[in-house]
Amino acid sequence: MNFQLFNTISRQKEIFSPRQGDMVGLYTCGPTVYAPPHLGNLRTYIFEDILKRTLLFNGYKVKHVMNITDVGHLTSDADEGEDKMEKGARTAGKTVWQLAEMYTELFQNNLKDLNILPPDIWCKATDHITEQIALIKKLEDKGYTYQTSDGVYFDTSKLTNYGKLAQLNTAGQKAGARVETNPEKKNPTDFALWKLSPTDAKRQMEWPSPWGTGFPGWHIECSAMAIKYLGETFDIHCGGIDHIPVHHTNEIAQSEAATGKPFVRYWLHGEFLVINEKRMGKSEGNLLTLDWLKNEGVSPLAYRYFCLGTHYRKPLNFSLEAVLSAQKALTNLYNKIATMDKPAIGCAEYEAKFKEAINDDLNTPQALAVVWEMMKSDYPDSAKKQSLLKMDEVLGLGLKNVPKLTIPPEVQALVEDRKRVRLARDYAKADDIRNRLKELGFTVDDTDLGPVVKKLR
Ligand code: AMP
Ligand code: ZN
């Protein structure tokens, strides 16, 4: 059974094998910490968590690096506009450093709530200015850069394969209708490596450099930190699909120009969370956060379950109704597992099917289908429980934390009786039994998994 992942660079599923032994280097682009993460961002981090857990499930060791963008991400991806952090801080009446700390903490709490495994290394852009300057210097020495009145730019025409990830047609772009706002740029696809501080305003975040006081461009941080922690060539890099044409394209350009080596072996990208066919995004004005969802009575793990119901390479349509129905399914699973016996030997047949699904480019909807198929099978509860706990190493739905519910034999006997009378369509009798159960402090739900007993609160 091969483990296959869809590699954006080849646009096909490829058999995965790490560069060195069983060690996998994984870099996931982290958040720009100027606002709370929205449910779209979180969908991407859930997909990346499934990837990491699947790697671990397959016996690999993973070194996972995630950056925190706390400087340099401008309001336009074309290196124009204001720094998102400086703008956000002004609006919030805080310093940029306070803003970064506040939203980094919020982001990390969201990940915890969603049962997303933390990276081995968290790295902040502002803690790696020296590494970024050194990388720009290297590019300058190799002749890949030029200076303008507002900074140092990467000359994309110096590469023959610029844009290979996005399959960009740069010749077409030069002649195309795209409005160029910076007349000093030699090519529309050139991007900033270092931006100089404006002469008429003081920035909160700025550093000295060989080119003058300023701050790094957005893309250079990921190259500098990925190379520092994972090496010049590493295994997997991911993000959302919006990163393909600009951010990741530019990471490849500057990294490969600097090192002369391939940067990343497998690129994985998650599709968007959408509302009414529009991407959830700041400019669309349709942002929803995890806190909002919690206020609506949805648990973060129910949102996680909702995300797993759609493959990561397909757009996922958000609606509260759909998330609530995911919550119902997950609650059924929790209630069922609460009454299950101690783990025994698992259901090998279903574990194999599960692994096949997850190893087929992280097919989580199929993996969940296998879970439900197993739950409805004739295997004993103890075997199902063993397999569920194993599968949850990948799914991360917190199944091992479901407290055990001990059902007194008297209650169990009544539940069996009720099942029998219901089969005989004696619903009046079934209701009598339900009342007796209530007196004993229990209730029973008729779910598609059969009757599920719960304790009354
Ligand atoms: P940002 O903080 O804007 O850099 O985004 C953090 C991550 O969320 C990136 O990997 C983006 O590609 C991803 N992302 C942004 N919008 C969405 C969306 N609507 N659905 C899924 N992922 C998204
Ligand atoms: Zn990045």
Segment 190-212, tens digit of pLDDT: 999 999 998 887 788 899 999 99
pLDDT above 90 as % of the chain: 82
Segment 361-415, tens digit of pLDDT: 999 999 999 999 999 999 999 999 999 999 999 999 999 999 999 999 999 999 9
Widest CA span of the chain, in angstroms?
86
State whether the beta carbon of 239 lies less than 6 angstroms from ligand 1.
yes
pLDDT above 70 as % of the chain: 96
State whether the beta carbon of 304 lies less than 6 angstroms from ligand 1.
no
Q: For position 175, what pLDDT does the model report? A: 39
Report CA(329)–ligand 2 centroid distance (Å).
Answer: 35
Which residue in 183, 140, 188 sits closest to 162, CA to CA? 188
State whether the beta carbon of 402 lies less than 6 angstroms from ligand 1.
no
- Please provide the average confidence, as pLDDT, over all residues in the chain: 93
Asked whether residue 179 carries a pLDDT value surpassing 60, the answer given is: no
The model's confidence at residue 168, banded by pLDDT at 50, 70 and 90, is confident
Segment 36-47, tens digit of pLDDT: 999 999 999 999
Q: Are 192 and 151 in contact (CB under 8 A)?
A: yes
Q: How far is the C-alpha of 295 from the C-alpha of 86, rounded, in Å?
A: 30
Q: What distance lies between CA 127 and its chain's CA centroid?
A: 23
Q: Are 196 and 211 in contact (CB under 8 A)?
A: yes
Q: Are 194 and 216 in contact (CB under 8 A)?
A: yes
Report CA(303)–ligand 1 centroid distance (Å).
Answer: 16
DSSP state of 245: I
> In testing the pocket of ligand 1, which one of 8, 68, 242, 306 has its CB within 8 Å of the most ligand atoms?
242
Give the atom of ligand 1 at the shortest distance from the alpha carbon of 274. Answer: 19
Q: Which CATH number is 4-274's, of 3.30.565.10, 3.40.50.720, 2.40.110.10, 3.40.50.620?
A: 3.40.50.620
Q: How far is the C-alpha of 165 from the C-alpha of 358, rounded, in Å?
A: 25
278-279 β-sheet, strand order: 278-279, 273-275, 316-317
Q: For position 333, what pLDDT does the model report? A: 95
The model's confidence at residue 180, banded by pLDDT at 50, 70 and 90, is low
The model's confidence at residue 176, banded by pLDDT at 50, 70 and 90, is very low
How many C-alpha atoms does 233 have within 13 Å on its Cβ side? 9
Residues lying with their CB under 5 A of ligand 2, a single-atom ion? 29, 222
The model's confidence at residue 178, banded by pLDDT at 50, 70 and 90, is very low
The model's confidence at residue 173, banded by pLDDT at 50, 70 and 90, is low
Q: Are 248 and 165 in contact (CB under 8 A)?
A: yes
Q: For position 198, what pLDDT does the model report? A: 87
State whether the beta carbon of 242 lies less than 6 angstroms from ligand 1.
yes
Assign 3-state DSSP to the chain and report helix, strand, coil percentages, each to 5.
45, 20, 35
State whether the beta carbon of 110 lies less than 6 angstroms from ligand 1.
no
Asked whether residue 89 carries a pLDDT value surpassing 90, the answer given is: no
Segment 298-340, tens digit of pLDDT: 999 999 999 999 999 999 999 999 999 999 999 999 999 999 9
Name the residue with the closest Cα to ligand 1, atom 4: 31
> In testing the pocket of ligand 1, which one of 29, 33, 38, 41 has its CB within 8 Å of the most ligand atoms?
41
Give the atom of ligand 1 at the shortest distance from the alpha carbon of 29. Answer: 10
State whether the beta carbon of 275 lies less than 6 angstroms from ligand 1.
no
Q: For position 177, what pLDDT does the model report? A: 40
State whether the beta carbon of 209 lies less than 6 angstroms from ligand 1.
no
The mean per-residue pLDDT over the stretch 238-252 comes to: 96
The mean per-residue pLDDT over the stretch 338-348 comes to: 93
The mean per-residue pLDDT over the stretch 105-127 comes to: 98
Domain boundaries, the chain: 4-274, 296-401, 409-455
Does domain 296-401 fall under CATH 3.40.50.150? My reply is no
